[in-house]
Amino acid sequence: MNKVNYNDIFNEQISKVKATDKILLHVCCAPCLSGVIKRFEGLNLTLFYYNPNIMYKEEYDQRAQALIDYVDKINKGLAGVKFDKKVRLIIPEYDNLYFLNKISGFEKDKEGGTRCRICFALRLQKTYEFAKDNYYKYFCTTLTVSPHKDADIINRIGQQYEGYIPSDFKKNDGYLNSIKECKKHNIYRQTYCGCLFSTNNIKK
């Protein structure tokens, strides 16, 4: 069976987005954002850091701060990407208990299993709900830039919701770019995905 080319689908759909259309981009962390931000250049972009999976609060805050600093650079024109309007960043309240309740019983799954599917689903669902409640026409996620995450699984979840733009950001050297950008801008790169249940701490 031929695999769906989500990168082509992204390119086609993003080319139809008007500069006035509001897009909400779910962002898992600054490193992943740095690999994909150019794909949204010039658009009316808001970032949504909804990641109750990150353990624990200190780590969540450290990643949030890295994102705040990087967005500041973007808005000051220091990140090599241009936007007509300021890129906004929304950081909802941290609720790790919500994540723990949702993945209860799947703690021992290996990376990429049911626990991760639930984790993707709860983040995309919340992003969709926020987008809908706040009149965003489109939403998307940076999650597909990670070589450890299956774009097909993520996009099948996202495509249940109106306004979702599928992607496969690891194509076009998205992941490599994120490593380069992190070095260039001295962005904090975490050593594990987010929760502490992965047996092997995988670098994103």
* Interface positions with ligand SF4 (CB under 6 A): 53, 111, 115-116, 119, 193-195, 197-198
CB nearer ligand SF4, residue 148 or residue 171: 148
Q: Which of 48, 25, 52 is nearest to 37 (CA)?
A: 25
For the chain, the first-to-last Cα distance in angstroms comes to 29
CB nearer ligand SF4, residue 53 or residue 127: 53
CB nearer ligand SF4, residue 83 or residue 169: 169
Q: Compute the least distance from the CB of residue 52 to ligand SF4, in Å.
A: 10
Instruction: Give residues with Cβ within 8 angstroms of 36, minimum separation 6.
Output: 142, 145, 167, 169, 174, 178
Instruction: Give residues with Cβ within 8 angstroms of 52, minimum separation 6.
Output: 94, 95, 96, 98, 99, 122, 123
Instruction: Give residues with Cβ within 8 angstroms of 58, minimum separation 6.
Output: none
Q: Compute the least distance from the CB of residue 191 to ligand SF4, in Å.
A: 13
CB nearer ligand SF4, residue 45 or residue 118: 118
CB nearer ligand SF4, residue 43 or residue 154: 154
Strand segments, DSSP code E, in the chain are 22-26, 44-48, 88-90, 138-141
Q: Compute the least distance from the CB of residue 53 to ligand SF4, in Å.
A: 4
Q: Compute the least distance from the CB of residue 40 to ligand SF4, in Å.
A: 22
Cis geometry, peptide bond prior to residue 56 (ω within 30 degrees of 0): yes
Q: Compute the least distance from the CB of residue 56 to ligand SF4, in Å.
A: 12
| Cβ pair 102, 4 in contact under 8 A | no
